[in-house]
């Protein structure tokens, strides 16, 4: 039986019905066609599905859509404004912080929150802050460089 | 992966939640942060008929400081525990343990009550609660009761909570000389072994994660400890232990880790 929910996503309120077992990531991807949020491992490890739920980074494969009823969700589609990349997105682009790009939306969502909590992190703090996001291409070096670049405001 | 269909209940009070648990007669599970239960449901290792989502019960959140102890509502997240000044100063073992659980995203959702009620022997908090001699409060149809950590953890993923009871809060005595040290091989992984040490002068309470089907006290270390002989006492950490072998480590290696980590935990606790 479907349950009524009202979830604001990237500033747009969506009042709809969902099956209780619908995961937030599937609500975003399949009900709203916001496919920037990826499903990687589907076991709460890889972080490709990271979104902000009421301002906090969470793994949307491990949240039920009904748990997000009344909440505000921000996805990767919601971090840029007026067609301009968010500085973190630009830093990933300019420092080659991605190869295949699959993990990138989750990386960016987690990294923005990392800098909100700690605007000038050390490399070790960046690595620890992104523990919840796995990348199988880059070896993380350029991801750390991207976050460092975004923190310093310096882009190439 | 999508969980098997279930009935979803959203109580607004603990009393409502208890009534809903009773209505489903043991076939319902309590949903808090969902970071143990939902993954198990997605893998179909758990398929409850109903979920009682206690996430909106405001009375289950928050941290209360008293002169000798700290009381933490069951829904308080690991991130909130890790960030609370009163816990960092009054019970540093708990703050550092919460800060090391899973990863940032997991700590934003996972709760102290959920971790303890789930009683995973590889989870960090059960051993820490046991070393602290903490206690949990449970509420059920017959009222409220307090359960000492020593009586709470029964076996693998099993506590002494009855199916119609809800863990509502956790109480830990203040313990400034306390530390938790764990070992794992990969980021965000479960502890292969963890050691919790709470030192009061010349005595210590030690508990271990990952060496059995529930957290265990290292009684031989406690008996040998005299307030300064950390290395000698820690050498007894595996006495009487029958640590399991699995894909993460052999029992022998776990015994070695127990001795090393207990020493480090004792040293860290005494240095605070």
A60 & A111 share domain: no
On whether any CB of chain B is under 8 Å from the CB of A66, the answer is yes
| B16 class by beta-carbon count within 10 Å (0-12 exposed, 13-18 middle, 19+ buried) | middle
**Residue labelled with tokens 């709460």:** A44
User: How close B106 gets to chain A, by Cα (Å)?
Assistant: 7
What is the per-residue pLDDT across B90-127, written as a single tens digit (0 to 9) for each? 999 999 999 999 999 999 999 999 999 999 999 999 99
Instruction: Quickly count: other Cβ atoms within 10 Å of residue B64's Cβ.
Output: 12
Q: What's residue A156's pLDDT?
A: 47
Q: What is the pLDDT of residue A155?
A: 56
Can you give the CATH number for the domain in which A47 is found?
3.10.20.30
Contacts of A133 in chain B (CB under 8 A): 103
Residues A131 and A91 occupy one common structural domain = yes
Q: Does residue A82 lie in a domain region?
A: no
pLDDT along chain A (156 residues), means of 10: 96 98 98 98 94 98 98 97 93 96 98 96 97 95 97 74
CB A17 within 8 A of CB A80: no
At residue B189 the predicted structure's pLDDT band, cuts being 50, 70 and 90, is: confident
Check CB contact under 8 Å for A47 and B34. Answer: no
Contacts with A63 from chain B: Cβ below 8 Å: 34, 38, 109
State the fold for domain B7-54.
3.30.43
Same domain as A63, residue A34: yes
A contacts of B10 (beta carbons < 8 Å):
66
* Residues A132, A96 contacting (CB under 8 angstroms): no
Domain B178-271 grouped into CATH 3.30.390.50: yes
**Strand pairing of A72-74 and A3-9?**
parallel
| Chosen domain end from A77, A95, A126 | A77
Residue B234: predicted pLDDT:
98
Q: What are phi and psi of A112, to 5 degrees?
A: -65, -40
Domain final residue pick, A77, A101, A132 = A77
Looking at the partner chain, which of B4, B43, B106 has a beta carbon nearest the beta carbon of A132?
B106
Interface of A with B in 135-154 (CB under 8 A): none
What DSSP line would sit under chain B, residue for residue?
A: --PPP-EEE--SSHHHHHHHHHHTTT-EEEESS-TTHHHHHHTTS---SEEEEGGG-GGG--EEE-SSEEEEETT-BHHHHHH-HHHHHH-HHHHHHHHTSS-HHHHHH-BHHHHHHHT-TT-HHHHHHHHHT-EEEEEETTEEEEEEHHHHEEETTEES--TT-EEEEEEEE--SSEEEEEE-SSTTPPPSEEEEEEEETTEEEEEEESSSSS-EE-HHHHHH--SS-HHHHHTTTTTT--PPP-SS--HHHHHHHHHHHHHHHHHHHHH-
Mark whether A91 and A50 lie in a shared domain: no
Interface membership of A62 toward B (CB under 8 Å): yes
Asked if A23 and B39 come within 8 Å (Cβ–Cβ), the reply is no
Disruptive mutation site among B103, B185, B188 for chain A (greatest number of A CBs within 10 Å):
B103
Tell me the mean pLDDT in the region B158-187.
96
pLDDT, one tens digit per residue, over A48-78 is 999 999 999 999 999 999 999 999 999 999 9
- A42/B contact by beta carbon, under 8 A: yes
Is A48 a domain residue? yes
Question: For a pLDDT cut of 70, what percent of chain B falls above it?
Answer: 100
Percent helix / strand / coil, chain A, rounded to 5: 40, 20, 45
Q: What is the pLDDT of residue A22?
A: 98
Q: Which residues contact B228 (CB under 8 A, 6 or more apart)?
A: none
CA of A122 vs chain B CAs: smallest distance (Å) = 16
Co-location of A41 and A60 in the same domain? yes
A4/chain B closest Cα distance in angstroms: 12
Q: Where are the domains of chain B?
A: 7-54, 63-173, 178-271
**Is A106 within a domain?**
yes
Chain A CB contacts of B42 under 8 Å are 23, 42-43, 61
Counting the structural domains of chain A, the total is 2
Cβ A110 vs Cβ A132: under 8 Å: yes
Same domain, A52 and A99: no
- Do A61 and A100 lie in one domain? The reply is no
Q: According to CATH, what is the number of the domain B63-173?
A: 3.30.465.10
How close A79 comes to chain B (CA, Å)? Answer: 18
A49: helix, coil or strand? coil
Q: Which of left, alpha, beta for A46 (phi over 0: left; psi -120 to 50: alpha)?
A: alpha
ipTM above 0.90, yes or no: yes
Expressed as residue numbers, the domain containing A52 is 3-77
**A50 interface with B at CB cutoff 8 Å:** yes
A67 interaction partners in chain B (CB closer than 8 Å)? 31, 34, 53, 55
pLDDT digits (tens, 9 = 90+) for B128-147: 999 999 999 999 999 999 99
Output B188 or B166, whichever has higher pLDDT: B166
Looking at A55, A77, A99, the residue that finishes a domain is: A77
Residue-level pLDDT at A154: 67
B contact set with A (CB within 8 A): 1-8, 10, 31, 34-35, 38-39, 42-43, 51, 53, 55, 79, 102-106, 108-109, 187-188
Per-residue pLDDT, averaged over B65-79, amounts to 98
Structural tokens at position A76: 């990767």
Angle at alpha carbon of residue B183, lines to B181 and B187, rounded to 5°: 115
Cβ-defined contact of B5 to A56 (cutoff 8 Å): no
The CATH number of the domain holding residue A101 is 1.10.150.120
- Across the interface, of B4, B55, B105, the residue whose CB is closest to A132 is B105
């Amino acid at each position: 039986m479907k349950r009524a929910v009202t979830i604001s996503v990237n500033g747009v309120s969506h009042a709809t019905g969902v099956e209780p077992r619908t995961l937030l990531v599937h609500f975003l991807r399949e009900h709203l066609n916001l496919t920037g949020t990826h499903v990687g491992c589907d076991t709460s490890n890889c972080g490709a599905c990271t979104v902000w739920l009421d301002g906090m980074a969470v793994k949307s494969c491990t949240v039920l859509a009904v748990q997000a009823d009344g909440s505000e969700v921000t996805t990767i589609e919601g971090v840029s404004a007026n067609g301009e990349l968010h500085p973190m997105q630009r830093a990933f682009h300019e420092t080659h912080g991605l190869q295949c790009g699959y993990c990138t939306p989750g990386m960016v969502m987690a990294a923005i929150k990392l800098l909100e909590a700690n605007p000038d992190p050390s490399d070790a703090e960046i690595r620890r802050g992104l523990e919840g996001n796995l990348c199988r291409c880059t070896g993380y070096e350029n991801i750390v460089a991207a976050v460092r670049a975004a923190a310093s405001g310096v882009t190439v | 992966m999508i969980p098997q269909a279930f009935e979803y209940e959203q109580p607004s009070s603990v009393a409502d939640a208890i009534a809903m648990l009773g209505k489903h007669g043991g076939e319902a599970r309590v949903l808090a942060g969902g970071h143990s239960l939902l993954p198990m449901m997605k893998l179909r290792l758990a398929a409850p008929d109903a979920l009682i989502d206690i996430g909106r019960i405001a009375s289950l959140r928050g941290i209360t400081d008293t002169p000798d102890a700290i009381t933490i509502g069951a829904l308080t997240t690991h991130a909130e525990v890790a960030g609370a000044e009163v816990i960092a100063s009054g019970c540093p073992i708990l703050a550092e343990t919460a800060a090391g659980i899973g990863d940032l995203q997991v700590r934003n959702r996972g709760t102290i009550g959920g971790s303890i009620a789930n009683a995973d022997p590889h989870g960090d908090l059960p051993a820490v609660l046991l070393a602290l001699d903490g206690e949990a409060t449970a509420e059920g149809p017959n009222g409220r009761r307090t359960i000492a950590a020593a009586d709470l953890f029964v076996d693998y993923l099993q506590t002494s909570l009855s199916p119609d009871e809800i863990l509502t809060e956790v109480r830990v005595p203040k313990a400034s000389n306390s530390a938790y040290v764990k070992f794992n091989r990969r980021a965000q992984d479960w502890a292969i072994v963890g050691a919790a040490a709470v030192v009061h002068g010349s005595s210590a309470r030690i508990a271990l994660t990952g060496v059995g089907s529930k957290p265990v006290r290292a009684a031989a270390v406690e008996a040998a400890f005299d307030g300064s002989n950390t290395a000698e006492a820690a050498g007894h950490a595996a006495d009487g232990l029958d640590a399991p072998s699995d894909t993460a480590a052999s029992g022998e290696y776990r015994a070695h880790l127990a001795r090393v980590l207990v020493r480090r935990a004792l040293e860290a606790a005494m240095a605070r």
